[in-house]
Amino acid sequence: MSPVSPLVQRLVRPEIQALHAYHVPDSRGFIKLDAMENPYPLPQGLRDEIATLVSAAPINLYPDPSPAALKRKIAELLSLPEGMEVLLGNGSDELIQLLALAVNQPGATLLAVEPSFVMYRMIATFIGMRYVGVPLRDDFSLDLSATLEAIRREQPALVFLAYPNNPTGNLFSADEVHQIIVASPGLVVVDEAYYAFASDSFVPHLARYPNLLVMRTFSKLGMAGLRLGFLAGSSDWLQQLDKLRLPYNVGVLPQLVAGKLLEHHEVLLAQAAQIKFDRVKLFDRLSRIAGVQVYASEANFLLFRIENATAVFNGLKQRGILIKNLNGGHPMLTDCLRVTVGAPDENDRFIAALQEIVA
Ligand code: PMP
């Protein structure tokens, strides 16, 4: 890294200077199992339809700032309870930022459990918001009494719970999440990024709690490249958040392509079903490798612990397979690696390489 000039050093907030940029490794040429992407291409017929749509797209014009038809389609697919609406984001990362910006009054706190999605903490830092992390139990389940106690003590304006959690993959106890929502004086956002692979959702409970919003993304369902996420909840909340949204946050092409893909939602759901099926197989094969401890997952990835994880990670990389090294990121993730469930041949290559490394 080049030394920081005195001008930059004087003007940029110290907490930003202390940050490391969110690291995205160069994945060219690798079997890419690091970022929970859907490995499957779309059927040719659908690709052709998209090509026709895109060729006629009015990219000389700004996008529809609030695409009603796309939002209606999402609400319909979700069976959103009466009176609930959706707000679209440029990925759900953008929505995390909007939420934090909206409630960041002086002294306001953002609370999340740990380890969880790193963006909750990072965005709090970006905007100068106080952050409190509550450790999960050793098995990565919620520590309910510690979480309720932290909520009582800290009175957080905003709580994020990833359901299923990333990077651990497990689905927290629904009953405990309900208790957290009830006990929270502030807004609770249940982040369902991995909903397509999970057995439960808080969408049906939206009307029951005035302090609940559900956030989802289409990234894991085969649209990571489009950058489209959404918040579902009452218009009371969404109208306020909408004021903070930068105009035209979702481009013409993502709107068009996502609209078309959601007309063919069953194609994406069938891919997700295949991934869930392969997750069970991968879990089984991983857990049979000596020295590997795999954690139960309701997402499209598996977290596992293995001695000398960083050496294993590098060994996989040398063999052309890129996964995520979590060793050193959080004390509870020592010697942990995370692998996305890929296509069957990718999973085979990963297992074969891992077996070779530990042999
Ligand atoms: N929430 C969770 C729990 C995630 O794991 C991710 C992606 N890794 C996101 C949100 C962000 O997804 P995106 O910005 O692609 O919508």
pLDDT, tens digit (0-9, with 9 covering 90-100), for 209-253: 999 999 999 999 999 999 999 999 999 999 999 999 998 999 999
Decide if 54 is inside a domain.
no
User: Which residue, among 102, 112, 73, 71, has the nearest Cα to 88 in the 3D structure?
Assistant: 71
User: Which residue, among 302, 313, 316, has the nearest Cα to 353 in the 3D structure?
Assistant: 316
User: Which residue, among 298, 264, 258, has the nearest Cα to 91 in the 3D structure?
Assistant: 258
Specify the DSSP class assigned to residue 12: S
C-beta atoms surrounding 348 within 10 Å:
14
d(CA 312, CA 335): 10
List all residues whose CB is within 6 A of at least one atom of ligand 1: 36, 91-93, 117, 162, 166, 191, 193, 217, 219, 229
User: Which residue, among 335, 245, 249, has the nearest Cα to 293 in the 3D structure?
Assistant: 335
Q: Please indicate, yes or no, whether residues 257 and 117 belong to a single structural domain of this protein.
A: yes
Matching residue, tokens 């994945």: 27
Q: CA dist 68 to 110, 196, 244, 259, Å?
A: 31, 23, 19, 11
Decide if 50 is inside a domain.
no
Q: How far is the CA of 92 from the centre of ligand 1 (A)?
A: 6
pLDDT (average), residues 275-300:
97
Task: Identify the pLDDT of residue 277.
Answer: 98
Whether residue 251 contacts residue 61, with contact meaning beta carbons closer than 8 Å, is answered with no
CATH number, domain of 126, equals 3.40.640.10
Backbone angles phi, psi at 26, to 5 degrees: -70, 120
Q: Which amino acid is at 75?
A: A
Q: Which ligand 1 atom lies nearest to the CA of residue 89?
A: 16
Q: Which of 23, 92, 190, 223 to mutate to test the pocket of ligand 1 (most atoms within 8 A of CB)?
A: 92
Q: How far is the CA of 217 from the centre of ligand 1 (A)?
A: 7
Give the distance from CA 120 to its chain's centroid. Answer: 10
By the 10 Å C-beta count (0-12 exposed, 13-18 middle, 19+ buried), 228 is classed as: buried
CATH number, domain of 17, equals 3.90.1150.10
Q: Please, what's the largest Cα pairwise distance for the chain?
A: 58
Q: Please indicate, yes or no, whether residues 156 and 108 belong to a single structural domain of this protein.
A: yes
**152-174: per-residue pLDDT in tens?**
999 999 999 999 999 999 999 99
pLDDT (average), residues 131-146:
98
Decide if 91 is inside a domain.
yes
pLDDT (average), residues 24-36:
92
Task: Identify the pLDDT of residue 1.
Answer: 59
The alpha helices in 108-173, defined as continuous H runs, are: 118-126, 144-154
d(CA 290, CA 305): 11
Matching residue, tokens 């296509």: 343
Q: Atom 5 of ligand 1 has which residue's CA nearest to it?
A: 166
- Single residue among 264, 297, 330 that ends a domain in this structure: 264
d(CA 121, CA 111): 9
pLDDT at residue 340 tops 80: yes
Q: Atom 1 of ligand 1 has which residue's CA nearest to it?
A: 193
Decide if 205 is inside a domain.
yes
Matching residue, tokens 């991995």: 194
pLDDT (average), residues 79-98:
95
Q: Which ligand 1 atom lies nearest to the CA of residue 167?
A: 5
Q: Which of 217, 226, 231, 300 to mutate to test the pocket of ligand 1 (most atoms within 8 A of CB)?
A: 217
Number of domains present in the structure of the chain? 2
Q: CA dist 305 to 52, 170, 175, 254, 310, Å?
A: 46, 15, 28, 37, 11
Give the distance from CA 5 to its chain's centroid. Answer: 35
Least confident residue range of 1-10, 105-114, 179-188, 319-328: 1-10
Whether residue 165 contacts residue 143, with contact meaning beta carbons closer than 8 Å, is answered with no
Range of the domain at 238: 60-264
Q: How far is the CA of 129 from the centre of ligand 1 (A)?
A: 20
Whether residue 91 contacts residue 217, with contact meaning beta carbons closer than 8 Å, is answered with yes
pLDDT (average), residues 35-61:
96
Task: Identify the pLDDT of residue 82.
Answer: 85
d(CA 94, CA 221): 18
Q: Please indicate, yes or no, whether residues 96 and 224 belong to a single structural domain of this protein.
A: yes
Q: Please indicate, yes or no, whether residues 65 and 209 belong to a single structural domain of this protein.
A: yes
